[in-house]
């Protein structure tokens, strides 16, 4: 596609509910990142994929967070047993090559998750 697409755009979950957030990167992009952005803060790194391999998941805040990219294209971020502190915008970004200096990363518009 022309850009990074994320769905749903908005998600309201009851505390304790599981959610799945989808990211469709730009076709052919090797690298894919997930970020969490709390209100008024900068994005914080969650995890990174190079093709289907999850090379870094050090930013995932707890074992309730899980990400996958089984075929090296679409990625899903899953949050189990959601808590109120999980409320944030979840951003996905992709890049056409592996980690290397280039002309930046393309971000999607994010999924705003509200846990009530």
Partner 1 sequence: LAKTTQPISMDSYEGQEVNITCSHNNIATNDYITWYQQFPSQGPRFIIQGYKTKVTNEVASLFIPADRKSSTLSLPRVSLSDTAVYYCLVGDGNAGNMLTFGGGTRLMVKP
1 binds partner 1 (CB under 8 A): no
Surface-to-core class of residue 67, CB atoms within 10 Å of its CB (0-12 exposed, 13-18 middle, 19+ buried): buried
Q: How far is the CB of 16 from partner 1 (least distance, A)?
A: 27
Q: Per rule CB under 8 A, is residue 41 in the interface with partner 1? A: yes
3-state helix, strand, coil in the chain (%, to 5): 5, 45, 50
Helix residue ranges, H only, 6-46: none
Question: For residues 24 and 56, what is the distance between their CA atoms, to the nearest angstrom?
Answer: 19
- Helical spans, DSSP H, in the chain: none
- The binder of partner 1 chosen from 75, 77, 79, 108 (CB under 8 A): 108
From 14-22, 60-68, 73-81, 99-107, give the range in contact with partner 1 by CB under 8 A.
Answer: 99-107
Is 77 a residue that touches partner 1 (CB under 8 A)? no
Query: Segment contacting partner 1 (CB under 8 A): 12-20, 62-70, 77-85, 107-115?
Result: 107-115
Please give the residue ranges that form the binding site for partner 1 (CB under 8 A). Answer: 4, 33, 35, 41-45, 48, 55-56, 59, 91-93, 99-110
């Amino acid at each position: 596609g022309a850009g990074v697409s994320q769905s749903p755009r908005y998600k309201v979950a009851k505390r304790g509910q599981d959610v799945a957030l989808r990211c469709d990167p730009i076709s052919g992009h090797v690298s894919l990142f997930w970020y969490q952005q709390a209100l008024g803060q900068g994005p914080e790194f969650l995890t990174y994929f190079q093709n289907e391999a999850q090379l870094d998941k050090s930013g995932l805040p707890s074992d309730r967070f899980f990400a996958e990219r089984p075929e090296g294209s679409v990625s899903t971020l899953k949050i189990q047993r959601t808590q109120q502190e999980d409320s944030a915008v979840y951003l996905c970004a992709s890049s056409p090559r592996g980690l290397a200096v280039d002309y930046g990363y393309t971000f999607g518009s994010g999924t705003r998750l509200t846990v009530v």
